[in-house]
Amino acid sequence: MSLLSTKGLSKNYAGLQAVNSVDFDLPEGQIRALIGPNGAGKTTFVGMLSGRIESSQGQVYFDGTDITGMPAHRRMGLGMAYTFQITSIFSKLSVHENVALAARRVIGGNNSQVRLRIKEVLNKVHLVDRADQIAGDLSYGHQRLLEIGMGLAQSPRLFILDEPTQGLAENEIDDFILLIQALSAETTVLLIEHNMDVVMRTANYITVLNFGETLAEGTPNEIRANQEVQAAYLGKN
């Protein structure tokens, strides 16, 4: 059974069809990449998955439950976490305090459990030695890792990562790939990413959008060899 799926999901903006009748199935435990040219509909599609954009037509299901009309905060309560293309940390708080705020959304006021979760998360994202540092003083790459840590602190069943390697240095990207591969043991990952090296090294399966429709799906090797994908997207990189 799929953890997340859509049936005929569509979005129309004043006559412009941004997403057109997309059927999508994401099995639990998979690292799925969503790729496509600029304007392919990726951001709109993910916005409908997360509840930040209202669909014009179709359904979204999470663990078999129809969540189409459910607001974003309730979807988070079901176990969906989402990181933005731009970091969304609390820049005036410490690294520790940022993760604590996220952890309390799920754990509540149990301070011992919150402290344990913070320690686990900071170890995973390699920020334990920066726990007392003010988040706004971190490098951009470390801020991205903190944002991922804040998502992990909520123990998500589905983690949506939107352009997570944007602005990262090469060595930071390598560390990120190792992190995502390690996370696959505890959460399902949907990765929206332009860096094709990251996609091919990280994803188990890839969905390609083009002009708001599903162009192709398959393993990294299948997508790399797909002539339609080459013509629409990969040949441009």
pLDDT tens, residue by residue, 55-94:
999 999 999 999 999 999 999 889 999 886 556 799 999 9
Q: Are 206 and 220 in contact (CB under 8 A)?
A: yes
Q: For residue 91, what are the contacts with CB-CB under 8 A and spacing of at least 6?
A: 134, 135, 136
Q: Considering only CA atoms, which of 81, 72, 51 is closest in space to residue 154? A: 81
Say how far apart CA 74 and CA 91 lie, in whole Å.
25
Q: Are 84 and 162 in contact (CB under 8 A)?
A: yes
Q: Which amino acid is at 73?
A: H
For 109, the 3-state DSSP assignment is coil
pLDDT tens, residue by residue, 91-131:
999 999 999 999 998 888 888 999 999 999 999 998 999 99
CA distances from 157 to 93, 126, 213, 235 (A): 27, 21, 26, 34
pLDDT tens, residue by residue, 213-231:
999 999 999 999 999 998 8
Give residue limits of the domains in the chain: 2-79+156-236, 94-155
- Strands ordered across the beta sheet of 16-27: 16-27, 2-13, 57-62, 65-66
Mean pLDDT score, 182-211: 93
Say how far apart CA 44 and CA 51 lie, in whole Å.
10
Residue 211 clears pLDDT 90, i.e. is over it: yes
Q: Which CATH number fits domain 2-79+156-236: 3.40.50.150, 3.40.640.10, 3.10.450.50, 3.40.50.300?
A: 3.40.50.300
**How does DSSP classify residue 41?**
S
Cα-Cα-Cα-Cα torsion 44, 48, 54, 56, nearest 10 degrees, comes to 80
